[in-house]
Amino acid sequence: MPRFNLLPPASLLMLLLLLGPSPISQAFPISGYFSPRQRAFLWRAQAGAECFDDDNSSLPLFRLYFQGEFDNAAQVVSERAQGIEAGPAGGHEQIHCILTPLDLPAGSFGGDAQFFLGATYYFDGRPEAVFRCRVYSFHPPPPAADDDEDEECGASFFLPPPPFLEMRLHRFTPEFEGMMRQNKYDLNLLPQTQVELAEVVEELEGCSVSWSVSNFKTSDEEDDGVSFRGVMRDGFCLVQSQRDAGIQLKIEDDLLLTREMLCVNDRGTDCVTGKIIYGNYRSLPYRMERRQRP
């Protein structure tokens, strides 16, 4: 009988991965076969993503992208044309998002904060219909676990490159929320001292979002199609509702940011009943297109 020289399974799998992304290469759990350095090489070969240096060269581009105005009007028009309404039917509400750089006192929300943003969200193209206003503070990411670190840049096979930034979410106290609502959420009214700011803005503990470079590629040639992925550090967080003290919310959030788009999959459910309080009923992201080009 003829004999065939077959490659060992691990070598064959490596070849499949180097040929490019495929359902097969994405499905096989191979983390046990390779060292962290080898997994990092495989991930970069498969995803075509770059490993950013330790000088945080991704930060300027992220800051450029993560500001301005976005909305999902096109998504809503498409869904309504298909007869898909918002709510339990599975459609999306129209949401407009404004991300505004804030000049807050150095040392606010911890001495390591690098910059701040105000995030204002309103419904149906009506600026008076604000349903959420947050302050985001941005910090160096927490150290990675030793067993997950790669000697070159910390990437692993299953995950994108390690986070380069942590975004902490802050909401207004109920009293300050009322004052802001009366003044159309004018972010210029935020206190300008650390002490006063801490009295009216509280962190949503455990709800931090870790940002990393995504393997999702856009067609933009100006920046080589770079995009960013944001995921909650612990997958979800539990928050007491300000509107109903008897409800504890389970909050889940993941984001994708490109030069022209901000996708937000933000869901809140009642921890006891499992009822959806906000977010898409099919867990599909709000695809908000940029209205101001950076």
Mean per-residue pLDDT, 102-115: 92
Integer Cα distance of 163 and 158 in angstroms: 14
Integer Cα distance of 72 and 78 in angstroms: 10
- Where residue 160 falls among pLDDT bands split at 50, 70, 90? low
**Statement: residue 146 has pLDDT above 70:** no
**Statement: residue 103 has pLDDT above 80:** yes
109 and 137 Cβ atoms separated by less than 8 Å = yes
**Statement: residue 42 has pLDDT above 80:** no
Q: Which of 77, 125, 65, 118 is nearest to 260 (CA)?
A: 65
Amino acid at position 193, single letter:
T
Integer Cα distance of 17 and 110 in angstroms: 42
- Give the list of residues 6+ apart from residue 100 with CB closer than 8 angstroms, or none: 67, 117, 118, 119, 120, 187
Q: What is the pLDDT of residue 14?
A: 47
Q: Which of 149, 161, 144 is nearest to 52 (CA)?
A: 161
Specify the range with the lowest mean pLDDT, choosing from 52-56, 86-90, 142-146, 218-222: 52-56
Residue predicted with more confidence, 292 or 28: 292
CA distances from 58 to 103, 184, 203, 282 (A): 22, 34, 26, 32
Q: Which of 171, 59, 65, 192 is nearest to 115 (CA)?
A: 59
CB atoms within 10 A of CB 233: 17
Residue predicted with more confidence, 138 or 38: 138
* Long-range contacts (CB closer than 8 Å, 24 or more residues apart) made by 60-65: 61/223, 61/226, 62/164, 62/165, 62/211, 62/228, 62/257, 63/115, 64/294, 65/228, 65/257, 65/258, 65/259, 65/294
Max Cα distance, the chain (Å): 86
What pLDDT, in 10s, does the model give residues 177-207? 999 999 999 999 999 999 999 999 999 999 9
Q: What is the pLDDT of residue 126?
A: 93
59, 61, 62, 63 alpha-carbon torsion, rounded to 10°: 90
Residue predicted with more confidence, 234 or 161: 234
**Statement: residue 9 has pLDDT above 60:** no
206, 52, 27, 11 alpha-carbon torsion, rounded to 10°: -140
- Where residue 294 falls among pLDDT bands split at 50, 70, 90? low
**Statement: residue 125 has pLDDT above 60:** yes
